[in-house]
């Protein structure tokens, strides 16, 4: 109906967007802000390609109307690395061959970052559960699980 | 075809009183949306008929879990992540903690609320069987005040509930009196994670001298509403859990359920799995020490 103004803190930067309240956070990120690292897969909360963190919690950005993200702290895949220094999860996905076509990878890595924030030393079961909302049709998941284990190892060495 | 965001109104009153007063002024005009895991799916696929959204996500009055001496009160806006992690839920209502952990992925559990799950009224939802066997009560609220009804009376027919157009589901009350009882739940889906149930079951009970003193059973995805198995319970009452009793109970169950064929399963498969799940439940029940 009418445009609103929404304040988002994205990857540590304050951004204000003019948008319709029901616009999906995913579209705001990709189309308004050019943050195209976040992918759209299913568009119905099943595949996890659009995973981001809102106030430190893992969510599917395709299911969030931007009005519900007003004032929130959002971390996208673009905000995971520290400048040029990749996050341990990103390094581990590269080292372990945790990515093939790459469509699911940003979501997988955001879900991994979330998992490691909650469980720095996850069990195999916690890894499977932590990534259970992220579908990959290439890898068969084993290299992804290995990458998460590797990220937990290297991340905790710091 | 995706919906056009320009077609939608979105109201964020921010308080319970504000939301209720809007619902009272224009009952049936506003669709409450909390975590969006149902509404936004419909929206994304262009299947959302409602055009006016009432935002409940930021209403703090709906988000508390409070433990009383005899019961636990779960605010309608509590997420499944909140519920599964809460120590009193884990201690007194392990079936609900498990059902919360079964509901969608971590990302969905961070958004999906228990009131949304109940009010959406899918017969295949994971939390209703646990709520039914624990004889939950629902606290409904409108500008006129609150009223409480038994959860067993809430679902009227497929997707029809006792919630009035000017009401919200304020809280779920769970009595703690079942804490030492045997408890069991199980779910059958296409995969372990993030699958809607083909059939799900929950049961609690007490044995006395090898006989069933009391038992509560409920099933999801086998009828137009989440179903308490009153007739099957009756067959089990006072009985020893022999093979014969199990077969009798399975016969009673077959008469109570009315599964359909849909995208997830056939009716016949659901019938067979419901019987198998009941058998597994009763075998665990017989092997349990509870009430002995």
Are A45 and A98 found together in one domain? no
Helix (H) or strand (E) holding B271: helix B267-287
Contacting B residues, span 173-192, partner chain A, CB-CB under 8 Å = 192
Count CA atoms within 13 Å of residue B7 on its CB side: 9
> Does any CB of chain A come closer than 8 Å to the CB of residue B77?
no
pLDDT in tens, A110-124: 999 999 999 999 999
- For A118, other C-beta atoms within 10 Å of its C-beta total 14
Q: Measured between alpha carbons, how far is B118 from B127 in angstroms, rounded to an integer?
A: 8
Residue of A nearest to B55 (CA): A68
Q: Which of chain B's residues have a Cβ under 8 Å away from the Cβ of A68? A: 36, 55, 57-58
Confidence label for B174 from pLDDT (cuts 50, 70 and 90): very high
Task: For chain A, report the end-to-end CA distance as a whole number of angstroms.
Answer: 50
Residue A158 lies in a domain: no
**Residue A91 backbone dihedrals phi, psi, to 5 degrees:** -60, -40
Q: Are residues A53 and A117 in the same domain?
A: no
Q: Domain B60-177 adopts which CATH fold?
A: 3.30.465
pLDDT digits (tens, 9 = 90+) for A144-157: 999 999 999 998 76
CA B285, B291, B292: angle at the middle one, nearest 5?
A: 90
What residue numbers bound the domain in which A97 lies? 88-153
Q: What is the pLDDT of residue A158?
A: 52
Unique residue bearing structure tokens 């079964």 = B102
Token couple for A74:
């959002």
Query: CA of A84, closest CA in chain B: separation in Å?
Result: 28
CATH number of residue A102's parent domain: 1.10.150.120
Least confident of A149-153, B196-200, B249-253, B287-291: B287-291
B193 chain-A contacts, CB cut-off 8 A: 128-129, 132-133
Flag whether residue B81 sits within 8 Å of chain A, measured between CB atoms.
Answer: yes
**Among B168, B116, B114, B164, which Cα is nearest to B141's?**
B168
- Which ipTM was obtained for this model? 0.96
Q: Which CATH number, 1.10.10, 3.40.630, 3.30.43, 3.30.70, labels domain B5-55? A: 3.30.43
Residues A74 and A93 in one domain: no
Burial-class residue A15 by CB neighbours within 10 Å (0-12, 13-18, 19+): middle
Is B141 a residue whose pLDDT tops 60?
Answer: yes
d(CA B205, CA B202): 11
pLDDT tens digits along B72-99: 999 999 999 999 999 999 999 999 999 9
Q: Return the CATH number of B180-287, one of 3.90.1150.10, 3.10.180.10, 3.30.390.50, 3.40.605.10.
A: 3.30.390.50
In this model, does residue B192 exceed pLDDT 90? no
Contact residues, chain A, for B195 at CB < 8 Å: none
pLDDT band (50, 70, 90) for residue B194: confident
* Same domain assignment for residues A32 and A65: yes
Phi-psi region of B269 (alpha: psi -120 to 50; beta: other; left: phi over 0): alpha
């Amino acid at each position: 109906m009418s445009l609103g103004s929404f304040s988002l803190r994205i990857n540590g930067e304050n951004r204000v967007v003019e948008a319709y309240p029901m616009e999906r956070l995913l579209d705001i990120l990709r189309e308004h802000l050019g943050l195209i690292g976040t992918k759209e897969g299913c568009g119905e909360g099943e595949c996890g390609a659009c995973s981001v963190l809102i106030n430190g919690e893992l969510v599917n950005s395709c299911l969030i109307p931007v009005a519900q993200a007003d004032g929130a702290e959002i971390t996208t895949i673009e905000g995971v690395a520290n400048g040029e220094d990749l996050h341990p999860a990103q390094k581990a996905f590269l080292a372990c061959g945790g990515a093939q076509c790459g469509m699911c990878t940003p979501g997988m890595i955001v879900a991994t970052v979330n998992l490691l924030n909650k469980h720095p030393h996850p069990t195999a079961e916690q890894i499977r559960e932590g990534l259970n909302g992220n579908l990959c049709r290439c890898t068969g998941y084993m290299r992804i699980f290995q990458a998460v284990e590797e990220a937990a190892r290297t991340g905790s060495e710091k | 075809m995706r919906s056009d965001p320009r077609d939608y109104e979105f109201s964020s009153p921010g308080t319970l009183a504000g939301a209720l007063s809007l619902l009272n002024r224009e009952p049936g005009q506003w669709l409450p949306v909390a975590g969006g895991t149902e509404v936004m799916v419909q929206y994304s696929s262009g299947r959302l008929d409602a055009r006016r959204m009432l935002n409940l996500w930021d209403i703090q009055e709906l988000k508390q879990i409070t433990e009383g001496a005899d019961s636990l009160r779960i605010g309608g806006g509590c997420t499944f992540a909140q519920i599964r992690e809460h120590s009193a839920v884990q201690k007194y209502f392990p079936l609900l903690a498990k059902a919360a952990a079964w509901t969608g992925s971590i990302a969905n559990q961070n958004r999906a609320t228990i009131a949304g799950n109940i009010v959406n009224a899918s017969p295949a939802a994971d939390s209703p069987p646990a709520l039914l066997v624990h004889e939950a009560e629902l606290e409904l609220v409108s500008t006129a005040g609150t009223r409480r009804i038994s959860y067993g009376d809430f679902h009227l027919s497929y997707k029809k509930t006792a919630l009035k157009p000017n009401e919200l589901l304020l809280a779920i009350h769970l009595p703690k009196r079942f804490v030492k009882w045997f408890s069991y739940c199980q779910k059958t889906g296409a995969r372990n994670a993030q699958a809607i149930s083909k059939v799900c079951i929950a049961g609690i009970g007490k044995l006395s001298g090898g006989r069933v003193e009391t038992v509560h059973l409920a099933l999801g995805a086998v009828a137009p509403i989440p179903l308490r198995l009153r007739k099957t319970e009756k067959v089990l009452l006072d009985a020893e859990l022999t093979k014969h009793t199990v077969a009798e109970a399975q016969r009673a169950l077959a008469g109570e359920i009315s599964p359909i064929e849909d995208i997830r399963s056939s009716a016949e498969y659901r019938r067979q799995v419901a019987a198998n799940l009941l058998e597994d439940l009763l075998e665990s029940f017989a092997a349990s020490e509870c009430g002995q």
